[in-house]
Amino acid sequence: MKATDTSSPDYFHKVVDCQYACPAHTPVPEYIRKIAAGQYADAYMINWKSNVFPGVLGRTCDRPCEPACRRGRVEEEPVAICRLKRVAADNKGDITARLPSIAPRNGKKIACVGAGPASMTVARDLAPLGYEVHVYDGEAKAGGFIRTQIPRFRLPEEVIDEEVGYITALGPVMRLGERVDSLKGLLAKDYDAIFVGCGAPRGRDLDIPGRQEGAGNIHIGIDWLSNVSFGHITRIGKRVIVLGGGNTAMDCCRTARRLGGQDVKVVVRSGFDEMKASPWEKEDAMHEDIPILNFLVPKEFLHKNGKLTGVVFEKVAPKYDDKGRRSLVPTGEPDQHIACDDVLVAVGQENAFPWIERDAGLDFDKWDMPVVSEKTMQSTNPKVFFGGDAAFGPKNIIWAVAHGHEAAVSIEKFLSGLDVEDRPPPDVDIDSQKMGIHEWSYDNNIANDLRYKVPLQDKSIALKSVKTEVELGFDSELGFKEAQRCLNCDVQTVFNAPACIECDACVDICPTDCITFTENGEESDLRQRLKAPALNLSQDIYVSDTLPTGRIMAKDEDVCLHCGLCAERCPTGAWDMQKTIINITHAGSTCRSR
Amino acid sequence: MTYILKPKLHHPELPTNALGLTRRDYEGRISTLCAGCGHDSISAAIVQACFELDIAPHRLAKMSGIGCSSKTPDYFLGQSHGFNSVHGRMPSVLTGANLANRDLIYLGVSGDGDSASIGLGQFAHSIRRGVNMCYIVENNGVYGLTKGQFSATSDKGSKSKRGVENTESGIDLVALALQLGATYVGRSFSGDKAQLVPLIKGALSHHGPAVLDIVSPCVAFNNHAGSTKSFDYVRAHNEAVNRLDVILGRTPITADYEPGTVTEVTQHDGSKLRLRKLDDGYDATDLVGAMHYLQMHHAKGEVVTGLLYVDPDATDLHDRLGTTDVALNRLGTRELSPGAAALAKINAGLR
């Protein structure tokens, strides 16, 4: 293998698994250290800069960081990164003085369609730079999906108001209650760029017999949830069936439990393990006495005298062909009949752009979706950019934020006459953490604690109102303990081959057998010859230049605890612990100059 | 000294041995020696050897004297018995312990000061008597704990860190051990675990006095140009005579070697020492040949390593004294106090 080039910003970024996995690349270990130090406002601002809605995301994020967390590979469970974010948000105090100052208007105007997380991110990035950003939304309050779809028991409205408020304070023109119904109309106005962040507003229906007759008690999940959010719906029948296995289905069933549903069931076509809902959302639902029945395909809605009485399901089993593809085949058992009063259909969402004229200068693909660049978020009309669910179908808030940042960079470049395709590299800062012979500026004693559970509101109280928040959040003490579980993966082990005397001290001390001195070879061969075979191919092998004995140092990054013992026990300082702070470049002067 | 605790978390794929223990279960406390000390590598090799031999930690006793080397038993086998004795007196304490409880495995850990200076007499007599033990000398050729004076094993003509030449003859502990009747003698280098771990395994399973002289560079006071115990010097002058594999009784032997390149020695406990020759002319069961070879290469400034001598028919102190077969702590009242008739018989024998 060739010696590893650690000067490439991606090498060390990849080692910080959580940050690498996060669509917005939030510097997770850095803010977790701030939480442990009680510097909540600092921790909050690191988040705010990167993911815009720390309080919202600290309760609702899909947490791509957690499955990636290195702790999950050396112990049972990852660090509760998401809920630690909430600790920062809950305890930060007043941060208004830390918000960016607003530059004088630069004369350029941008329209954002929809006031959801993607559009609000664009507004936050561009409004302080002097752009006149107009945010359109049909609703009376900004927030989009965050406000209409996520039940209040998971996300209180005050949190939304606060974090949307930080953005509106930066001077975007909020054109609420103005629904955009024609892109051509918008293009005809004097906007220099248009950002479409209108979400994926249409819930998929289930067209099976009885759908028309039972219509009065069959509801589309996302529409029903927003009606609950707005207070238009306050009751549901005692027996409720929720069809679908995604996070929307989980929100539906839990909401139903709070609106009078006593016997609420979730029924999914596929297997329990293959459900799209996050494991913790399934857990939360089951905790509220909601059974999840799997391998049942809805066949017919039953009705009597114009009223829904139940649903008939066909029993299926998974069958795999020789290519490993799964199909669901009927088992031949008698159909299952489940009686109910109401059905909530949460079988997916689809994007619909009835308001975009097909001759507005945008190409649409074969699925009737606008063609959007994943890199630049630009459509085939250079003035029009997309983000959030509107861009590539339903994802989640953190993706919407990431899209918003990228689109803001593109818009900034586009309006400055620069090449949109030329993306700015991240800002990387790397610093030794050594302060003395045995002193390091980070806490490198690894806590042995297992993951702490977030305290919950008592179930009997929680189920009484749709507005009672279920999760109470970590308090400062629990937050500190959970923060201490973080392995500080951003404090990198950096090897300087010329200083090494090959004494083996690092090999002997490494608690996770990461380091090997051996003859060089091809990666596949080398991976087998390390002190512990490096079987996780998604993790890199850090390889040094050839040493005096003709060997190389090879370090498997996979389960390194970043405890610093290699550097601590190195007699010559060949190993050093260096902190890499990687910040994705957002819109602003640096994105233009780089 | 290191204040960071060694994390309990370990590699998820860490193998377990026949006892269900991982290598990490054989570790001790974190070392307080200087960073990079060769002794730490030897500790790691001991840990690895005990793990591979499936030794139950409580069936091993680690004994040491005074010095950097003698501190190391704190850094391995944290769940074993231990005795940190007076300077140079480890062999006596070990001999006593062994006589009292012959069922334990005895690991003596000493250094060049502890064994070649103050404890030279003890070193010699424990070997002479044939105590069943694994005696490891962590030999760095320098008094590291008192900041770098020459020790008794420093080679004549080698230089101190300040450039002063050693004018006194060095003691070769391997030559001494061979002369004194050690029945398993090896030399190795802390920087070569592939060689060291099997040598320790062989020594721990050997029945009789096993001596290992392990060159262990002192990074603080004896790892400079002019030293003959530095990483660079030993790497440049290492003359390995063989490579050892220790085959435990239950492991089937499968590897094929060219005829004539492998010698197999079956030890008392049924374990097999398989020696792959690196030097065609070297026979590890030939005592006189070994002594000759050693002197010849020593004269050339080479450090001969490997399993230098093994006597497969070795006996130990218990065999020679005809002591009782079981540990004293397992003897019952009937054996310990056999009654008036037995006493009368003994008294009669003395008249």
Residues contacting A109, CB < 8 A, separation 6+:
A131, A132, A133, A134, A190, A191, A192
Distance CA B48, CA A342 (A): 65
- Judge whether A15 and A430 are in contact, CB under 8 Å: no
CA dist B54 → A527, B23, B42 (Å): 27, 10, 18
Reduce the DSSP state of residue A222 to 3 states and report it.
Answer: helix
- DSSP states along A136-174: EESSSSS-THHHHTS-TTTS-HHHHHHHHHHHHTT--EE
Per the structure block, which two tokens stand in for A491? Answer: 């404090």
> What's the DSSP call for residue A63?
-
At which residue do the structure tokens 């009078």 appear? Answer: A260
- Judge whether B174 and B307 are in contact, CB under 8 Å: no
CA dist B49 → A40, B58, B77, B194 (Å): 49, 15, 11, 11
Per the structure block, which two tokens stand in for A62? Answer: 């899909």
Which chain B residues have a beta carbon less than 8 Å from that of A561?
7, 9
Interchain proximity B219–A509, CB inside 8 Å: no
Residues contacting B181, CB < 8 A, separation 6+:
B127, B128, B130, B209
Closest Cβ opposite residue A445 in set B4, B44, B217: B4
At which residue do the structure tokens 């989640």 appear? Answer: A396
Give the helix/strand (H/E) hosting A592. helix A589-593
End-to-end CA distance of chain B: 63
Which chain B residues have a beta carbon less than 8 Å from that of A512?
7, 9-11
CATH architecture, range A203-348: 3-Layer(bba) Sandwich (3.50)
Distance CA A559, CA B302 (A): 41
Which pLDDT score, from 0 to 100, does residue B281 have?
A: 79
Q: How far is CA B274 from the centre of its chain?
A: 19
How close A176 gets to chain B, by Cα (Å)? 53
User: How large is the average pLDDT for residues B273-299?
Assistant: 89
Residue B45, Cβ density class (10 Å: 0-12 exposed, 13-18 middle, ≥19 buried): buried
Which pLDDT score, from 0 to 100, does residue A141 have?
A: 94
Which pLDDT score, from 0 to 100, does residue B263 have?
A: 79
Which chain A residues have a beta carbon less than 8 Å from that of B31?
509, 569
Residues contacting A233, CB < 8 A, separation 6+:
A224, A227, A259
**What does DSSP say about strands B105-111 and B133-139: parallel, antiparallel, or unpaired?**
parallel
Distance CA A365, CA A388 (A): 18
% helix, strand, coil for chain B, step of 5: 35, 20, 45
Which pLDDT score, from 0 to 100, does residue A146 have?
A: 93
Interchain proximity A446–B44, CB inside 8 Å: no
Q: Is A438 on the interface with B (CB under 8 A)?
A: yes
How close B260 gets to chain A, by Cα (Å)? 28
Closest chain A residue to B13 measured between Cα atoms? A532
Per the structure block, which two tokens stand in for A542? Answer: 């850090």
Neighbouring-strand partners of residue B213: B137, B187
Closest Cβ opposite residue B12 in set A502, A559, A570: A559
Q: Which amino acid is at A556?
A: D
Residues of chain A with CATH 3.50.50.60: 100-201+351-415, 203-348
Interchain proximity A569–B9, CB inside 8 Å: no
- Helix residue ranges per DSSP H, A234-276: 247-258
Q: Look at residue B260 and tell me whether its pLDDT is greater than 70.
A: no
- Helix residue ranges per DSSP H, chain B: 38-52, 68-71, 90-100, 112-116, 120-129, 173-180, 193-205, 231-237, 287-299, 317-321, 333-336, 340-350
Q: Is A569 on the interface with B (CB under 8 A)?
A: yes
> What's the DSSP call for residue B77?
-
Closest chain B residue to A568 measured between Cα atoms? B2
What angle do helix axes B173-180 and B287-299 make, rounded to 10 degrees? 160
Give the helix/strand (H/E) hosting A121. helix A117-126
Which chain A residues have a beta carbon less than 8 Å from that of B229?
none
Distance CA A554, CA A451 (A): 31
Distance CA A242, CA A342 (A): 9
Distance CA A389, CA A116 (A): 10
- Judge whether B196 and B120 are in contact, CB under 8 Å: no
Interchain proximity A559–B6, CB inside 8 Å: no
- Judge whether B106 and B63 are in contact, CB under 8 Å: yes
Distance CA A13, CA B160 (A): 46
- DSSP states along B231-243: HHHHHHHEEE-EE
Distance CA A522, CA A544 (A): 14
3-state secondary structure A407-455: HHHHHHHHHCCCCCCCCCCCEEEEEECEEECCEECCCCCCCCCCCCCCC
Closest chain B residue to A74 measured between Cα atoms? B12
Interchain proximity B5–A508, CB inside 8 Å: no
Interchain proximity A446–B235, CB inside 8 Å: no
Q: Which residue, among B261, B304, B263, B256, has the nearest Cα to B284 in the 3D structure? A: B263
How close A569 gets to chain B, by Cα (Å)? 4
How many residues does this entry show for chain B?
351
Interchain proximity A572–B36, CB inside 8 Å: yes
Which pLDDT score, from 0 to 100, does residue B280 have?
A: 77
Q: Which amino acid is at B298?
A: H
Closest Cβ opposite residue B9 in set A511, A548, A568: A511
Mutate to test the interface with A, among B1, B8, B13 (most CBs of A within 10 A): B13
Interchain proximity B12–A503, CB inside 8 Å: no
- Judge whether B112 and B153 are in contact, CB under 8 Å: yes
| For chain B, domain boundaries | 23-321
Band (B257; pLDDT cuts 50, 70, 90): low
Q: Please give the radius of gyration of chain B, using alpha carbons only, rounded to the nearest integer.
A: 21
Closest chain B residue to A559 measured between Cα atoms? B11
The overall average pLDDT reported for chain B is 92
Q: Which residue, among B305, B72, B298, has the nearest Cα to B196 in the 3D structure? A: B305
How close B198 gets to chain A, by Cα (Å)? 17
Reported ipTM: 0.90
Give the helix/strand (H/E) hosting A279. helix A279-287
Q: Which residue, among B10, B11, B44, has the nearest Cα to B30 in the 3D structure? A: B44
At which residue do the structure tokens 């850090």 appear? Answer: A542
Does domain B23-321 fall into CATH 3.40.50.970?
yes
Which pLDDT score, from 0 to 100, does residue B255 have?
A: 52
- DSSP states along B13-66: T--B-TTS-BGGGGB-SPP-SPTT-HHHHHHHHHHHHHHHTT--GGGEEEEE-S
Closest Cβ opposite residue B4 in set A507, A549, A568: A568
Q: Is A508 on the interface with B (CB under 8 A)?
A: yes
Interchain proximity A568–B6, CB inside 8 Å: no
Interchain proximity B10–A507, CB inside 8 Å: no
> What's the DSSP call for residue A299?
E
The CATH number assigned to the domain with range A100-201+351-415 reads 3.50.50.60
Distance CA A327, CA B162 (A): 78
Distance CA B338, CA B72 (A): 43
Reduce the DSSP state of residue B292 to 3 states and report it.
Answer: helix
Interchain proximity A504–B31, CB inside 8 Å: no
At which residue do the structure tokens 């991982």 appear? Answer: B22
Q: Give the number of other Cβ atoms within 10 Å of residue A332's Cβ.
A: 9
Instruction: Please provide residue A71's backbone torsions phi and psi, each rounded to the nearest 5 degrees.
Output: -55, -35
Q: In a structure prediction context, what are the per-residue pLDDT tens digits for chain A, which is 594 residues long?
A: 999 998 888 899 999 999 999 999 999 999 999 999 999 999 999 999 999 999 999 999 999 999 999 999 999 999 999 999 999 999 999 999 999 999 999 999 999 999 999 999 999 999 999 999 999 999 999 999 999 999 999 999 999 999 999 999 999 999 999 999 999 999 999 999 999 999 877 888 999 999 999 899 999 999 999 999 989 999 999 999 999 999 999 999 999 999 999 999 999 999 999 999 999 999 999 999 999 999 999 999 999 988 999 999 999 999 988 888 888 999 999 999 999 999 999 998 888 788 999 888 899 998 888 999 999 999 999 999 999 999 998 889 999 999 999 999 999 999 999 999 999 989 999 999 999 888 999 998 999 999 999 999 999 999 999 999 999 999 999 999 999 999 999 999 999 999 999 999 999 999 999 999 999 999 999 999 999 999 999 999 999 999 999 999 999 999 999 999 999 999 999 999 999 999 999 998 777 765
Which pLDDT score, from 0 to 100, does residue A469 have?
A: 95
Per the structure block, which two tokens stand in for B57? Answer: 């930690």
Closest chain B residue to A534 measured between Cα atoms? B13
How close B67 gets to chain A, by Cα (Å)? 20
Between CA B214 and CA B225, with CA B219 as vertex, the angle to 5 degrees is: 95
How close B76 gets to chain A, by Cα (Å)? 12
Q: Is A441 on the interface with B (CB under 8 A)?
A: no
C-alpha neighbours within 13 Å on the C-beta side of residue A239: 8
- Judge whether B29 and B78 are in contact, CB under 8 Å: yes
Per the structure block, which two tokens stand in for B121? Answer: 């007499």
